[in-house]
């Protein structure tokens, strides 16, 4: 069984875990509709990605429950 050479202090332990931070999402402007969207994702408003319409947003389907 491994035995540590010296005790790790509370400050050293807490400092190690203090570097996890939440970053703000990186949003860019959609070239088609000029709305903010996540990078490398299909625009939720117009359905375009890289100048090509991927999702048809003209008709919205209703879900029957």
pLDDT digits (tens, 9 = 90+) for 8-64: 999 999 998 888 888 888 999 999 999 999 999 999 999 999 989 999 988 766 666
CA distance 4 to 15: 19
Pick the closest to residue 44 from 33, 52, 25 (CA basis).
33
Predicted pLDDT of residue 30: 94
Predicted pLDDT of residue 2: 87
Domain ranges across the chain: 25-54
Predicted pLDDT of residue 9: 95
3 state SS for the chain: CCCCCCCCCHHHHHHHHCCCCCCCCCEEECCCCCCEEECCCCCCCCCEECCEECCCCCCCCCCCC
Predicted pLDDT of residue 13: 92
């Amino acid at each position: 069984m491994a035995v540590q050479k010296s005790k790790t202090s509370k400050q050293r332990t807490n400092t190690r875990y203090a570097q996890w931070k939440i970053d703000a999402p990186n949003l860019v402007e959609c070239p088609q509709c000029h709305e903010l969207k996540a990078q490398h994702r299909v625009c939720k408003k117009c359905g375009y990605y890289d100048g090509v319409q991927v999702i048809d947003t003209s008709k919205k389907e209703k879900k029957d429950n």
